[in-house]
Amino acid sequence: MADLWRRSWCLATGLIVPALAMGSPRWLQLDAVAPAWSVLWLLPWALVDGPISGALVGAGLGLLLDGLHPGPVSQLPALALLGWWWGRLGRRDVVLERSASLALLSLTGCLVLGGSLLLQMLVAGTWPASAFQTLWAQTLITALLAPPVCSLWLLLWRQQLPGVR
């Protein structure tokens, strides 16, 4: 695990996610659906800081977001799993900073997060009528925003950790 989580200001940037989740700009929405800001923030964090930190920060982010939307569904399991998986990918020798790589990883992450939420809604019996439309709109806008947003986070956080590629 790298030392990114020890820098309190880096960890505090995670507070941007609930703020954007509550008030995403309309010009960044697709069919009135906001991007998965948690995916756009967690992906570069986990790639830089590793699987343990990615899973822990993903769980913390999931708890924070679940507190905003009380109900029978939780983002925690999917975000913890994604943080761990992306952290493991970041430890390999594969370069994951190209636009297509970031877009595909965020697309997959958004599908995992949305699929987890839909599965939980199905079990709880609260299946919304527009579930698939919302999932696809959120996945598309998240994948389109991933290259610029995740590249900036990757650049910022890699500069904070000397010796991390």
User: What SS3 state is found at 77?
Assistant: helix
State yes or no: pLDDT of 128 exceeds 90.
no
Using pLDDT thresholds of 50, 70 and 90, give the confidence band for residue 165.
low
Output the pLDDT for position 93: 65
State yes or no: pLDDT of 157 exceeds 90.
no
Beta strand residue intervals within the chain, DSSP E? none
State yes or no: pLDDT of 1 exceeds 60.
no
Using pLDDT thresholds of 50, 70 and 90, give the confidence band for residue 58.
very high
The Cβ of residue 134 has, within 10 Å, a number of other Cβ atoms equal to: 17
Mean pLDDT value across residues 90-110: 85
Q: Is 0.95 surpassed by the pTM of this model?
A: no
State yes or no: pLDDT of 160 exceeds 80.
no
Q: What percent of the chain has pLDDT over 70?
A: 90
What token pair was written down for 32? 């009135």
State yes or no: pLDDT of 164 exceeds 60.
no
Output the pLDDT for position 5: 61
User: What SS3 state is found at 69?
Assistant: coil
- What secondary structure does DSSP assign to 80-118, as a single string? HHHHHHHHHHHTSSS---SHHHHHHHHHHHHHHHHHHHH
The Cβ of residue 157 has, within 10 Å, a number of other Cβ atoms equal to: 20
State yes or no: pLDDT of 49 exceeds 90.
no
State yes or no: pLDDT of 138 exceeds 90.
yes
Q: Could you give all domains of the chain from N- to C-terminal order, each with its CATH number?
A: 4-160 (1.10.1760)
Q: Which residue has the higher pLDDT, 21 or 95?
A: 21
CA distance 27 to 117: 25
